[in-house]
Amino acid sequence: MHDGSPSSQAAPPDDVTERLGYRLKRAAAALRGAMDGALRERGLTVPQYACLELLDQRPGLSNAELARGAFVTRQSMNVVLRGLQDAGLITRPATTDRGRALPAHLTEEGHRRLAAARSVVYAIDQRMTGAVPERRLADLLADLDHMAAALEG
Amino acid sequence: MHDGSPSSQAAPPDDVTERLGYRLKRAAAALRGAMDGALRERGLTVPQYACLELLDQRPGLSNAELARGAFVTRQSMNVVLRGLQDAGLITRPATTDRGRALPAHLTEEGHRRLAAARSVVYAIDQRMTGAVPERRLADLLADLDHMAAALEG
DNA sequence: TCATGCATGTCAGGAGTTTGACATGCAAGA
DNA sequence: TCTTGCATGTCAAACTCCTGACATGCATGA
């Protein structure tokens, strides 16, 4: 280990664009831009789509749970829910017997809009996933997970 | 190919959290949060730090070039530059002979603040990089690059 | 020469997000 | 019992960022 690639305690490369953080940010920005443009034509924002997707898989999620799932604050998700509610894509009870969390559910229209949006998002996911060798995909998913866990801890 | 993991034209997993886009977003959000908190104590925002880092490596970059390098719009970078200029961390000529682009440069104070911020950002980068097996790091960087390129095209 | 295209810098407006704060509801322990 | 802690929902204000638009400067080709 006299040159080349030092092992565990190596400092980040001098060139910013060679650092993991920069690459991560670039990929995330590209994804955000692509989804933003595609969803705009469907009349949805990225957080709105994320919210619908989460509710489809786990109906009854509360505002706070949705916020965590979409990586935004409770306050932000609150306005997102309000918008979706006004648009008639979700329903949420005004009160509840048990606790304070208000469970949200998709409406029929919500399911339709989600299905329409899903097709374009799938296409984007395909384009992105297709850019990485298939045998490396599982490792990639795992690494991203570990990175997030290491930073959240 | 009758079950298990179909190859190239497979649809994204039903579980949102298993999709590449979700993992990417989660990791990026975690990174953003970590950097945000660490830099706040140094009196810098993430775009401001990115701007300083870019200018350190390639002095004389214009507003538009910095914007592309930091993945924001020209308008956003413009206010960032204004802030850094008011704080005395960078300098930018009011006019220029050739063309319209105004080359920015770090001041002495800018170098100092960048050096201080760099230490905490390095620590975060270490934490993140340390979470992925070393022999996979190069592939990971390449894959992220390919993903971004596939989406930008 | 001049017209068209392109990139840059900048202003104005609006949409989205965050920070800070407060009240409500439940659970666990003194 | 009650009180402390914690999570939730919500309001208000500030900030950040983006979209849309316009003027400037250079290059290219008619």
Nucleotide nearest A47, from its CA to each C1': C16
CA of B72 to C1' of D17 (A): 8
Give chain D positions with protein CB within 7 A: 7-13, 16-21, 24-26
Task: Output the domain CATH number for residue A95.
Answer: 1.10.10.10
pLDDT value for A146: 97
B85 touches strand C (CB under 7 A): no
Q: What does the H/E/C string look like for A20-36?
A: HHHHHHHHHHHHHHHHH
pLDDT value for B1: 46
Domain count, chain B: 1
A96 touches strand C (CB under 7 A): no
- Name the band, by pLDDT with cuts 50, 70 and 90, for residue B9: low
Per-residue pLDDT of B124-148, as tens digits, reads 999 999 999 999 999 999 999 999 9
Per-residue pLDDT of chain A (153 residues; tens, 9 = 90+): 444 444 445 778 889 999 999 999 999 999 999 999 999 999 999 999 999 999 999 999 999 999 999 999 999 999 999 999 999 999 999 999 989 999 999 999 999 999 999 999 999 999 999 999 999 999 999 999 999 999 987
Give the DSSP letter of residue B59. Answer: T
In angstroms, the first-to-last Cα distance of chain A is: 31
Distance from CA of B97 to the nearest CA of A (A): 30
- Name the band, by pLDDT with cuts 50, 70 and 90, for residue B11: confident
Contacts of B7 in chain A (CB under 8 A): 134
pLDDT value for B4: 43
pLDDT value for A10: 72
pLDDT value for B5: 45
Taking residues B21-27, what's their average pLDDT? 97
pLDDT value for A153: 79
pLDDT value for A9: 58
Contact A20 B151 (CB under 8 A): no
Q: Is residue A9 in some structural domain? A: no
Contacts of B76 in chain A (CB under 8 A): none
Q: Is residue A3 in some structural domain? A: no
Q: Which of A1-5, A126-130, B96-100, B149-153 has the highest mean pLDDT?
A: A126-130
Least confident window among A20-29, B9-18, B92-101: B9-18
Round the average pLDDT of chain B to a whole number and report it: 93
3-state secondary structure of B90: strand
Q: Is residue A57 in some structural domain? A: yes
B94 touches strand D (CB under 7 A): no
| Centroid of chain to Cα A30 | 13
DSSP string, chain B: --SS---TTPPPPSSGGGSHHHHHHHHHHHHHHHHHHHHHTTT--HHHHHHHHHHHHSTT--HHHHHHHHTS-HHHHHHHHHHHHHTTSEE--S--SSSS----EE-HHHHHHHHHHHHHHHHHHHHHHTTS-GGGHHHHHHHHHHHHHHHH-
pLDDT value for A11: 79
Q: Is residue B8 in some structural domain? A: no
Nearest CA-CA partner of B106 in B65, B64, B67, B48: B48
Q: Is residue B4 in some structural domain? A: no
Distance from CA of B5 to the nearest CA of A (A): 10
Q: Residue type for A22, please?
A: Y
Q: Is residue A30 in some structural domain? A: yes
Residue A76: domain span: 17-152
A135 touches strand C (CB under 7 A): no
pLDDT value for A1: 46
Taking residues B104-117, what's their average pLDDT? 97
pLDDT value for B82: 97
pLDDT value for B10: 73
Q: Is residue A1 in some structural domain? A: no
Q: Is residue B14 in some structural domain? A: no
Residues A4 and B103: their CA atoms lie apart, in Å, by 35
CA of B135 to C1' of D14 (A): 45
At B110, list the tokens: 């800018």
